[in-house]
Amino acid sequence: MLKSYQPDSLIPLFPHSCHEVLDRGREEKIYLYPVRVFYEARSEIMKIIVKHNHQPELPPEKKIILRKPGEPQQEKDAPHKGLKGVDGESLQKEPMRVMHFACEVTEWAREQHRAGKRVGFVPTMGFLHAGHLSLVQEARKNADVVCLSIFVNPTQFGPNEDFGSYPRDEERDLQLCRDEGVDVVFLPRPDAMYAKDASVFVDESKLQHGLCGTRRPGHFKGVCTVVAKLFNIVQADVAVFGQKDFQQVAIIRRMVRDLDFPIEIIMAPILREPDGLAMSSRNVYLSSTERENAVGMSRALKSLGSVGAGHSAADPLREQMRSVLERYGLVEDYVAIVDADTLLPVSNVEPGNVALIAAFCGKTRLIDNRIL
């Protein structure tokens, strides 16, 4: 019996494994696509029938790209040219694939695992820069194939933050990924990432109390939840995060430990501009004067010099960082020196402690840190 649904969203499952059926009566080839239909807070897996070259009738924003079994993606993919074999011959690499649906990525990862490959993962919010690409390089060293996700996650932005204006440039990002030899870019549609009535979240309860967690309430709940979802989707063996977001890596490591995610977490160093400013997608917000002042962030951290075996009192060092920030017209959000594991402030500084700064440069909030 045919049911009629007004689906909230419709997600194709395993497009590669759809069944081809010949409709004898009409002498037409049709395809049975397994799809997950979300409706009225429930989801159900069902098969939809798609005639050759036809899109199912869905509202335009819900249209899915349907392919015949074995048909290549219609992205402007070109084989990656940068890779060379030991003899200097170009290695034939699969063209980069762009996937919009979670199930496509999961199916791809399963294929990789079946072929005995290790999957590496780099989650990002896009507007990529060399810092992001250094994470891809690190992932490649530790895996056979690399998936990079681009998703400006609404749930990690506060109501007065820059979710709406966060810089985006999909075309440029995809080209950078192609040039870097990324295998799969996962570009989920926002409405396909969260069910309208989503009610399960990951809320770390210790490390988020302090630093950015205090200044941005709810931020790490959003981060942990989306990263947990992405880990489940990408099924990676290893994920690479930047030290730039030191608290984030500490919290993700805690989540992986406490919830037994079977994934290795690597923290990659901070990539900086030649004058020391930590690369960030948000640096694009800075006017030319602000850009000059922004260098005060790394200067403040650098002013701490090297911390030897002897203990130094933390308070004067924090004051020292504050005075550098002030000199560059930067307005402190926080200045801290913490233990790298607990993220609790220390009173005496030891090697391995972390100095962290968040400060406003004009309206732009910048963060930076240094392992002492």
Catalytic residues, which ones?
132
210 binds ligand AMP, rule: CB under 6 A: no
- Which of 9, 112, 208, 281 touches ligand AMP (CB under 6 A)? 281
268 binds ligand AMP, rule: CB under 6 A: yes
d(CA 166, CA 155): 13
Size of the site for ligand AMP (CB under 6 A): 17
338 binds ligand AMP, rule: CB under 6 A: no
- Which of 38, 101, 241, 285 touches ligand AMP (CB under 6 A)? 241
Q: Which stretch binds ligand AMP (CB under 6 A): 38-46, 110-118, 127-135, 358-366?
A: 127-135
Measured from the CB atom, is 8 or 162 closer to ligand AMP?
Answer: 162
298 binds ligand AMP, rule: CB under 6 A: no
- Whether 182 and 146 have beta carbons less than 8 Å apart is answered as yes
Q: Which stretch binds ligand AMP (CB under 6 A): 82-90, 264-272, 289-297, 304-312?
A: 264-272
216 binds ligand AMP, rule: CB under 6 A: no
297 binds ligand AMP, rule: CB under 6 A: no
- Which of 125, 321, 349, 361 touches ligand AMP (CB under 6 A)? 125
> Which residues of this chain interact with ligand AMP, rule CB under 6 A?
124-125, 131-132, 134-135, 241-242, 244-245, 268, 270-271, 278-281
